[in-house]
A and B are shown apart, each in its own frame.
Chain A
Amino acid sequence: EIVLTQSPGTLSLSPGERVTLSCRASQSVSSSYLAWYQQKPGQAPRLLIYGASSRATGISDRFSGSGSGTDFTLTISRLEPEDFAVYYCQQYGNSLYTFGQGTKLEIK
């Protein structure tokens, strides 16, 4: 099983700041198989990025993804109040899906 480790666990930031979230895999992951989700309290996760760098339908261009191999990142260029949430990375490998443990963005 491929383990995804996200860092940091929690980030305290202010609106308008730029942030980069990290997702590291225990073994190489195809970029095609790496996705990012946003989850707000009481809601289901929402797909943000698929294929490591492609934005899902309706997702703001403030969100961007990059990376390859074992290291992937999600960048939010200018934080808006609605961006404060928990972010998960997810991979597909060996016919299994796994998620990272999440990074929580909180308002400073």
Chain B
Amino acid sequence: QVQLQESGPGLVKPSETLSLTCTVSSGSIGGSFWNWIRQPPGKGLEWIGYVYNSGNTKYNPSLKSRVTISLDISKNQFSLNLSSVTAADTAVYYCARVWGGGFNFDHWGQGILVTVSS
């Protein structure tokens, strides 16, 4: 059973970069699409982007200019960097897997709340 766990700071200052890591256990990180999804408090889900295999990425156009997702296969981890954050980026951030042959998120981390505030 694949397990995902987010980690990183829970508080980020405006204009700084939000950095999170997702550690994948009980399975190889190869062959799947590794995603970040966020959910502002009391609101719906927004897909941020994914990284696949050797570092191929795809981002939500609405965030593309500020997002970088990277993969560290040796550590079974992938990471999110979101630059120039504002209060609108306050959300629970989830990492999630799309299995290589699918089009849905079959495994999720528990989520981490990141607050943007000075």
On A, residues with C-beta under 8 Å from B are 1, 32-33, 35, 37, 43-47, 50, 56, 88, 90, 92, 95-102
Q: Which secondary structure dominates chain B's binding surface?
A: loop
Interface residues contributed by chain B, number (CB under 8 Å) = 19
Report the minimum CB–CB distance from B112 to chain A (whole Å): 11
Q: Are A99 and B104 in contact (CB under 8 A)?
A: no
**Roughly how many angstroms separate A90 CA and B61 CA in the complex, as a whole number?**
17
Report the minimum CB–CB distance from B97 to chain A (whole Å): 10
On B, residues with C-beta under 8 Å from A are 35, 44-47, 58, 60-61, 94, 96, 102-106, 108-111
Of B35, B46, B61, B105, which one neighbours A47 at CB under 8 angstroms? B105
Q: Are A35 and B108 in contact (CB under 8 A)?
A: no
30 pairs, CB–CB < 8 Å, chain A vs chain B:
A1-B61, A32-B103, A33-B103, A35-B103, A35-B104, A35-B105, A37-B105, A43-B110, A44-B94, A44-B109, A45-B94, A45-B105, A45-B108, A47-B104, A47-B105, A50-B103, A50-B106, A56-B106, A88-B44, A90-B104, A90-B105, A96-B47, A96-B58, A96-B61, A97-B35, A97-B47, A98-B47, A99-B44, A99-B46, A100-B44
